[in-house]
Amino acid sequence: MELQDKLLSSYVAFENKVDINSDVHEIRSEAFKNFEALGFPTKKLEAWKYTSLKSVLKQDYSLFPNKDVAVELADVKQYFIHEIDSYKVVFIDGKYSSFLSQTTHDQYDVCLMSSALSSPKYKETIDKYFNKIAKQDNLTSLNTAFATEGAYINIPKNTVVKKPIQIINFTTGSETATMVQPRNLVVVGENAQVQIIERHQSLNSNPVLSNIVTEVFADKASNVDIYKIQNDEETASLVDNSYIEQKSNSVVSVHTFSFGGNITRNNLNFYQKGEHIDSILKGVTIIEGKQHVDHHTLVHHIEPNCESHQDYKGIYDERSTAVFNGKVIVEKEAQKTNAYQQNNNVLLSDKATINAKPQLEIFADDVKCSHGCTIGQLDDDALFYMQQRGIPEKQGKGLLMFAFANTVLESVKIPEVKQRITKLIANKLGVNIGFDL
């Protein structure tokens, strides 16, 4: 059976398991109808011109994995940023693992979407924020239709979250193929601060399809830092839909590190609803084999005096393909906007492909908007210089590539994350860079 039909026909079974009289279920049913009408995206859609989900959708995914699989901490410790103390919200095959998690309700809520959706205590927040900025497009609708579990983070105003929050989704591969659809909601109050690290990891090489939706609301003068680490098995596909709404004077940054996966699609959307907002979107992509990474960003400048900074670097080897589609919209009212977008790419192989589409749509005149996009190779002179001084070619190339990606790492605020990423990059490039950062 086609995945789409399977999803559609399983909805009845799904409805047996959830409270169908809740307000949330109304939203789900609406989204379900929407998905039913739209179906999965095809290459005919401009937004999916360069990314085909065809091969991914062919798998026979188990939609509601039932088996409880015990996961030992020792086996998965490496996937955590374990050097630091942190809150953890961990899911195994889409189900919450209390054993691996560390949540809190002290001062702020770092807990589960399922409890937030069912408990009256959270109803006000859910009513106000749930599915309010998520687009009504096909995959987001599909996620909304089946939304039950994920991380729920609510930080009241004037609160600084003491330690970073890690949201980790493991898939065990207990079924031949698994589809998971986590749904996260992050509400950050006025003047509050939070750091979030997100990761998806499959524990064996059975195919996985994750279709995740995260909504982030950053109130006035709040500060939100999100790190997405994508270093999965080559059989795991990920569609990450993130929607971020910012109010005046807030700063939100999202770093996306894509080092592995079958097909990885990042839909990152920023909506600026206030003045003096800063949105930061950064990414490093280093892939090889037949991997495919697609970054689709949108920054919507709605009000005046805001800024956005985008910086995406990519290194592609073997038969990998990459897409960068960055869109900046500046509305008529958004005067004095400063929007920067930078996308630099290095192809290491003739079989690798990069498709870039940096797009600007500007309706205001008093703005500074620029984008730059380059595709090139490592500097031969620089490489020669190093070889002259006794650094082997491979090492030299690694150093150059490391330097190339480094501008993105500079803005990583958690030292342990920076270190981890540095190591991942060094491993990826197959060199010992010989120094710690």
Partner 1 sequence: MSKYTEEQLEEELKTQEYKYGFYTDIESDTFPVGLNEDVVRAISKKKNEPEWMTEWRLEAFRVWEQMEEPEWANVHYEKPKFQDIAYYSAPKQKPKLNSLDEVDPELLDTFKRLGISIDEQKKLANVAVDIVMDSVSVATTFKKTLGEKGIIFMPISEAIQEHPELVKKYLGTVVPTSDNFYAALNSAVFSDGSFCYIPKGVKCPMELSTYFRINEGGTGQFERTLVVADKGSYVSYLEGCTAPMRDENQLHAAVVELIAMDDAEIKYSTVQNWYPGNKEGKGGVYNFVTKRGLCENNAKISWTQVETGSAVTWKYPSCILKGNNSVGEFYSIAVTNNFQQADTGTKMIHLGKNTKSTIISKGISAGKSQNSYRGLVQINSRAENARNFSQCDSLLMGNECGAHTFPYIETKNKSAQIEHEATTSKIGEDQLFYCNQRGIDTEKAIALIVNGFSKEVLNKLPMEFAVEAQKLLEISLEGSVG
Contacting positions for partner 1 (CB under 8 A): 46, 332, 335, 345, 347-377
Burial 57-82 (b: 16+ CB within 10 A, else e): eebebbbbbeeebebeeeebeebbbe
- What are the backbone angles phi and psi of residue 436, rounded to the nearest 5°? -100, 155
Q: Are 169 and 203 in contact (CB under 8 A)?
A: no
Q: CA–CA separation, 322 vs 342, rounded Å?
A: 15
Q: Are 146 and 213 in contact (CB under 8 A)?
A: no
CB of 36 to partner 1, least distance (A): 25
CB of 332 to partner 1, least distance (A): 6
SS in 3 state form for 388-407?
HCCCCHHHHHHHHHHHHHHH
By C-beta, is 363 or 384 nearer to partner 1?
363
Cα angle for residues 277, 422, 195 (degrees, 5° grid): 35
CB of 355 to partner 1, least distance (A): 5
By C-beta, is 168 or 347 nearer to partner 1?
347
H/E element holding 212?
strand 208-218
By C-beta, is 159 or 353 nearer to partner 1?
353
Q: Are 316 and 344 in contact (CB under 8 A)?
A: no
CB of 333 to partner 1, least distance (A): 8
CB of 127 to partner 1, least distance (A): 36
By C-beta, is 240 or 294 nearer to partner 1?
294
Task: State how beta strands 251-260 and 223-231 pair.
Answer: parallel
Q: CA–CA separation, 28 vs 6, rounded Å?
A: 17
By C-beta, is 231 or 272 nearer to partner 1?
272
Q: Are 207 and 236 in contact (CB under 8 A)?
A: yes
Q: CA–CA separation, 116 vs 124, rounded Å?
A: 10
CB of 349 to partner 1, least distance (A): 6
Straight-line distance from the first to the last Cα atom of the chain, in angstroms, rounded to the nearest whole number: 51
By C-beta, is 121 or 351 nearer to partner 1?
351
Q: Are 409 and 436 in contact (CB under 8 A)?
A: no
* Residue with the two structure tokens 């009845």: 12
CB of 350 to partner 1, least distance (A): 5
Q: CA–CA separation, 301 vs 329, rounded Å?
A: 6
CB of 400 to partner 1, least distance (A): 14
Task: State how beta strands 183-188 and 109-112 pair.
Answer: unpaired
By C-beta, is 18 or 364 nearer to partner 1?
364
Burial 167-194 (b: 16+ CB within 10 A, else e): bbbbbbbbbebbbbbbbbbbbbbbbbbb
By C-beta, is 69 or 329 nearer to partner 1?
329
By C-beta, is 368 or 423 nearer to partner 1?
368
By C-beta, is 143 or 345 nearer to partner 1?
345
CB of 329 to partner 1, least distance (A): 9
H/E element holding 3?
helix 3-9
CB of 218 to partner 1, least distance (A): 26
